[in-house]
Structure 1
């Protein structure tokens, strides 16, 4: 599994590290420490779904055509699927629990150990299953986009059965679809006060069923991307889609990649739209999950809507600089490093404006930032340190 190793930070600037995922590691920070109560939920975020073993190949000039071979500049291995959001939330300080099936194969070993031991994700509601092949995905990242090939078999133990054992949480995350309603475990937790956050997967049928919007009556927030939002609402712009979604859910968010995000929070009466942060992209896998996790962090922490959007945008932008959907997620040290560099380099109007927009980070991360000597090992099953 990917583990932590003690090495000098300056010695990491090798050609190999430029190709692999090595986010900075900092001390775990409990962002909700001041809001915790003795009788409150022990878990901040609960979610269920499929954990894939991901192999990600980066730096391709093009997608391979039939009968051809294409070289890749970099590669990484990491837990994927529902693990993307779980790891992102845990690295930002949320106590996170996942219900998922793991095979008793080497892929399942790697994913289980990485999530539980390295990323501190609660897997008490998950199961190891003998004689079952862990779900597997190969992702090809090129020209700012990606293509994926997946192999999986249905779990002999339904995830819905495992999810009934998820601990009570402050927030729950669900992925909506036209073929199923909001999971029973999520409805039960919502009845106890859990805030449900939702996104939606791509509709291969292109029918964009209205039943998805009907499920939002059970949710606190909905966070689709612009194409999904416009398709489900039959509108022609992200702003029009946001207005339509606000009729179905208290907090509506529409993400638009590097163009930013816009949202409305009817619980506070806030509207906000923020520009994206454009950084060099190695692999965009999981950026939407990182955005969602960061937005949940800001919501549970009680931040203003604009701050939540900016923090989520920044977190997602930092994630695309590294390989892999889950292990590319930034931690607080990554955010502190970005803020420290920006604060020290306010030489032009654009940088000064960005520093002003993200001034709230001054209260969240220390300046000057003191880097740690620890760095997370490369995201690969092939190297053990």
Structure 2
């Protein structure tokens, strides 16, 4: 995959690249398998199964405001990457989960790019996915500004139903689904659940503003539910994230409500734990995919058997690190990014750093202090360029 800017990332003087704040990319580090001790020849072939739409995303960052009608504005940074279901798939894979996706890919240059990025760079299993001839790959342009973003999307329905492709997913430890009012839990996910997979779910924005209770009734099939605060309050008809969380415990064993920079709160009735943690505020370049990164990180911690508070803190950290980079999927942190943050915090002397070092002390076991990440960065995905 090529880098943005000069060939092989060198500056004009041939020195090490100077990464612009708006186009930096996550570090490359050694892969880490948190579930290595649980793997066996007769166990699940993969850790996380996903099915959905993969979009080709172009993300423009550093806008002061979106363009008004008939005007043009400058974007200080840009990136392109697989989006949609790829956001969670890449985030999970970078944290060491064996991840498989069932999705349709066009046989156009956008489809080529997304397929190569996921399978070759991000090590996502695409055995259940299909290339569709004479079909336009789904496409999204995202405009990031003032800590938020707006999106424009163009897509055609896949000629090959997702449900049909998803039946080809290997047996998994966990599966992720997005609930909606127009359909029940997909059959492929129910089959995965019957074979022992834990179903994790979130929910999309309801454009109709009806927020039907039928969506919550689908949670009877699920292991965990991870909506954001607005979605949780809307579906439960409550006035605060805490009240929404209490209502959700009537539907699902593990309920999590995310509240952006304010943090997250959760109840795990299987372990009799409840927890609430503060968010981590970092300079945001692009918030696209932060919720997916949170979800993937929480799944990692749950499959690894961590305490609930640790799962929330880890997911908050990963989501916060992701907003410092451009793009949804390719902004997801890996262990090198986590190590870099932890080394800086652990060695800090300010009161805020000492507090974080105490709260995130569990990272000492996950990221040993003698280990240092490489200074090599992942390639920024820019379509059309080749070394």
TM-score, normalised by the number of residues in structure 2? 0.96
CA deviation map 1:72-96 (0-9, x unaligned): 0000000000000000000000000
Query: Does residue 252 in structure 1 map to residue 249 in structure 2?
Result: no
Q: Which residue number corresponds to residue 339 of structure 1?
A: 342
DSSP 3-state at the match of 2:20: helix
Q: Which residue number corresponds to residue 213 of structure 1?
A: 216
Distance 1:11 1:217, change over 3 A: farther
2: CA distance, partners of 1:6 / 1:105: 26
> Which among 239, 242, 248 is matched to residue 242 of structure 2?
239
Residues 3-82 of structure 1: pairs in structure 2 closer than 5 A: 12=16, 14=18, 17-82=20-85
Q: Which residue number corresponds to residue 381 of structure 1?
A: 383
Indicate conservation of the 8 Å contact 1:224/1:253, yes or no: yes
Indicate conservation of the 8 Å contact 2:223/2:252, yes or no: yes
> Which among 276, 281, 285 is matched to residue 282 of structure 1?
285
Indicate conservation of the 8 Å contact 1:7/1:374, yes or no: no
CA deviation map 1:79-128 (0-9, x unaligned): 00000000000000000000000000000000000000000000000000
Q: Which residue number corresponds to residue 202 of structure 1?
A: 205
The structural deviation recorded for 1:54 is: 0.1
Aligned-residue CA RMSD (Å): 1.7
Task: Give the aligned length.
Answer: 382
Residues 348-363 of structure 1: pairs in structure 2 closer than 5 A: 348-363=350-365
Distance 1:33 1:3, change over 3 A: farther
The structural deviation recorded for 1:350 is: 1.8
2: CA distance, partners of 1:287 / 1:179: 25
Q: Which residue number corresponds to residue 332 of structure 2?
A: 329
The structural deviation recorded for 1:344 is: 1.1
Residues 143-182 of structure 1: pairs in structure 2 closer than 5 A: 143-182=146-185
DSSP 3-state at the match of 1:307: helix
Indicate conservation of the 8 Å contact 1:324/1:379, yes or no: no
Query: Does residue 103 in structure 1 map to residue 117 in structure 2?
Result: no
> Which among 89, 109, 114 is matched to residue 86 of structure 1?
89
The structural deviation recorded for 1:6 is: 8.1
Indicate conservation of the 8 Å contact 2:28/2:373, yes or no: no
DSSP 3-state at the match of 1:375: coil
Q: Which residue number corresponds to residue 136 of structure 1?
A: 139
Q: Which residue number corresponds to residue 126 of structure 1?
A: 129
The structural deviation recorded for 1:38 is: 2.2
> Which among 305, 315, 327 is matched to residue 308 of structure 2?
305
Indicate conservation of the 8 Å contact 1:340/1:369, yes or no: no
The structural deviation recorded for 1:31 is: 1.4
2: CA distance, partners of 1:357 / 1:373: 26
Distance 1:267 1:3, change over 3 A: farther
Distance 1:230 1:223, change over 3 A: same
